[in-house]
A and B are shown apart, each in its own frame.
Chain A
Amino acid sequence: MKMLVPYVTAGVTENWTDLLRAAVDAGADAIEVGLPFSDPTMDGPVIQQASYRALCRGVHATGILDEVSRLDLGVPLIAFAYTNLVLHRGAGTFCAALRDAGVTGLIAPDLPIDEAGPVSLAAEQHGVDVVLLASPSTPARRRAEIAKRSQRFVYAVSVMAPTGEQASLRSSGRELVTSLKQHTDLPVLLGFGISGAEQAAAACAYADGVVVGSAIMRRVLDGAAPAEIGALLAGIRRAVDG
């Protein structure tokens, strides 16, 4: 069974939590909830714009987690948060807030393993899993360490680029997934650049699932209703299930 993990920028629209419901109804196995940050250095134009729009609406982590805590979605939620948001009130306080809101995973895209120690410790104390990213440029020994230390799944970055849809899947992603799988029994998911069902299906020939972000958020920015996002994800679900 392949995993489908959609990403949604929290607070991008007033009814953004409906996007989460639509994703669950479409068969998402978990959802990445992006906490908007003013300086998203790992994100391409779409998620930059979504983050900017969310911040202009005046949302912040505390309010987002408050909304999330009232949801009962039935799938795990994983926070996608830049390091400054994690450390702002202290990693312990942040991880406790995640847990209180029912968010059980954390991805910090600008927190490499060399700097992750204190956050990992705090996350462990509060029962939050830390998902680590590996990149095509990551050397072999480091890939092994990332694969061993990651929790829940390993996030393979398919391409040397910020987040954003790519015209085609690169061979760098396949090579990375294959090498990561030698070091872990956890699922290895491919993300960054997955633009739709066809690419997701192709990725799942070697990966254990996909993360889809910009393809969703581009449509949301263009005004797509939650039902349209649901239809997109249902299509991807069917494609990866083959």
Chain B
Amino acid sequence: MRAESRRPAGLGRFGEYGGRFVPESLVPACDEVERAFTEAWADPVFRAELDHLLSVYVGRPTPLTPAMRLSAELGINLLLKREDLTHTGSHKINNVLGQALLARRMGKRRLIAETGAGQHGVATATAGALLGLDVTVFMGERDIERQQLNVFRMKMLGAEVIPVTAGSRTLKDATSEAFRYWVTVVDDSYYCLGSALGPHPYPWMVRELQRVIGDEARAQCAAPDFVVACVGGGSNAAGTFAGFLDTGARLVGVEAAGGAAISAGSTGVLHGFRSKVLQDEHGQIVEAHSISAGLDYPGVGPEHAYLAETGRATYVTADDAEVVAATHRLARSEGILCALESAHAVAWVLRAAADGTIPQGSTVVLTVSGRGDKDMATLMELS
């Protein structure tokens, strides 16, 4: 049986993780999204329209590029799944196009989104422009300062960007504000969540919309020994792993050392779901810190918490310094400037190949979740 049919039990349960911990005001809205997606996902017409857009608009399938020089240097067969080559430059577009089509099918006229680095905001603004839907993006004031280029991109695409001034003024606060706003406009607006987290059905839906990464990669190579992806909220990893869950491949998720909800967090409830979160001894959520804004989130999608607990996937960390080094090495040896988020996966592969965790001769599939253009200012400051 293809993993596609593996729908989480009950109200989005992945073991003890997942669920729907939202204010009563949002329960009917979550129900509505769940019903609509369940129907749409089983509807060949909806699937055909999404597949068509993924092909003619996004540029799928993305190639699986052999990293020739790096493979030779490391003594492994490293294959790069190139989400950086999609329209808008990251895997985020796969999810957003699916949800935007769903919103239109539900008769909604506006998309709401949260964004950290701005990649999901840009993808949502793009899908809104494509399908003729209004877009309102919530972004922390601090992230707006750090990501001016993406803010301008969103505005160019016609989106309204609302600064969030509460709390730490970053992604977690932008997410809270998006939920608050959704309550007030729930009749005509759709919340387009950017990662495989949030209340049911989002973790399941986003994973299904991102599984195109893993399904394509699986068809593009012989059985790999390792499948590696970076994990913030975990949508590119969830989509990548979905294609390989029923194979013998070792699945490895790489978190930012300063935002490692699985490696350093504990069980908690944030933004509508139960999973591993970074929190203090009193249950207050603490901020994540990473050089890559896209991994600056103190929680992780519930399916990852479950895969970690069952041992089906392993979660490791990479720190800022080795991530920067890995970005440089991939650029110099393959001519690919990847996003700092994706470089976490590269950093771990470099380390694991060197210390023998990845045996010589292994085949490794690594998802390059996005391109690095947005990170040039950060890297320029460092050099």
- Does A112 lie within 8 Å of B180, measured CB to CB? no
* Residues of chain B with a CB closer than 8 A to A160's CB: 25, 183-184, 186
The 5 closest A-B pairs by CB, nearest first: A88-B283, A60-B282, A135-B25, A38-B284, A135-B24
Knowing A52-B166, A146-B24, say if A39 contacts B285 (CB, 8 Å): yes
Total A residues in contact with B, Cβ cutoff 8 Å: 43
**Cα–Cα, bound, A52→B173 (Å):** 12
Contacts of B22 in A (CB 8 A): 41, 110, 112
Task: State in angstroms the CA–CA spacing of A137 and B180 once bound together.
Answer: 15
> Do B176 and A137 touch (CB < 8 A)?
no
How many residues of B sit at the interface, in one of the four size bands? 35 or more
Q: Which residues of B contact A84 (CB under 8 A)?
A: 268-270, 277, 279, 283, 285
Complex Cα spacing A161 to B26, Å: 10
Contact A39 B268 (CB under 8 A): no
Offer 22 A-B interface pairs, CB within 8 angstroms, sorted by A.
A37-B283, A38-B167, A38-B285, A39-B167, A39-B172, A40-B176, A41-B22, A41-B176, A44-B180, A55-B284, A83-B269, A87-B267, A110-B21, A112-B20, A112-B27, A114-B11, A136-B25, A137-B28, A138-B27, A160-B25, A160-B183, A160-B184
Q: For B267, what are the chain A residues with a Cβ–Cβ distance below 8 Å?
A: 87
Contact assessment for A157 and B180 in the assembled complex, using a CB-CB cutoff below 8 Å: no
CB neighbours (8 Å) of B190 from chain A are none
By a CB distance below 8 angstroms, the chain A residues around B214 are: none
**How many angstroms between the C-alpha atoms of A171 and B22 in the bound complex?**
24
For the complex, is A17 an interface residue (Cβ under 8 Å from B)? no
Contact B167 A110 (CB under 8 A): no
B28 touches A139 (CB 8 A): yes
Tally inter-chain residue pairs, CB-CB below 8 A: 112
How many angstroms from the CA of A81 to the CA of B307 in the assembled complex? 30
**Cross-chain contact B20 with A115 (CB below 8 angstroms):** yes
Interface contact A157-B25, CB-CB below 8 Å: yes
In contact, A39 and B270 (Cβ under 8 angstroms): yes
A77–B361 CA distance with the chains assembled, in angstroms: 66
Whether A125 is near chain B, meaning CB under 8 Å from some CB there, is no
Q: Which B residues are closer than 8 A to A by beta carbons?
A: 11, 19-29, 166-167, 172-173, 176, 179-180, 183-184, 186, 267-272, 274, 277, 279, 282-286
Q: Which of A48, A114, A133, A161 is the one whose CB lies under 8 Å from B183?
A: A161
User: Any chain B CB within 8 A of the CB of A62?
Assistant: yes
Chain A residue with the shortest CB-CB distance to B165: A45
CB within 8 A of B282: which of A44, A62, A134, A142?
A62
Distance of A137 Cα from B23 Cα, bound (Å): 11
A117 to chain B, nearest CB (A): 11
* A45-64, CB < 8 A from B: 45, 48-49, 52, 55, 60-62
Residues of B within 8 A of A162 (CB): 180, 183-184
Which chain A residue lies CB-closest to B285? A38
Shortest CB-to-CB span from A107 to chain B, Å, is 11
Shortest Cβ distance from A59 into B: residue: B282
Task: Pick from B29, B271, B284 the residue with the most CB of A within 10 Å.
Answer: B284
Expressed in whole angstroms, the minimum distance between the Cβ of B145 and any Cβ of chain A is: 20
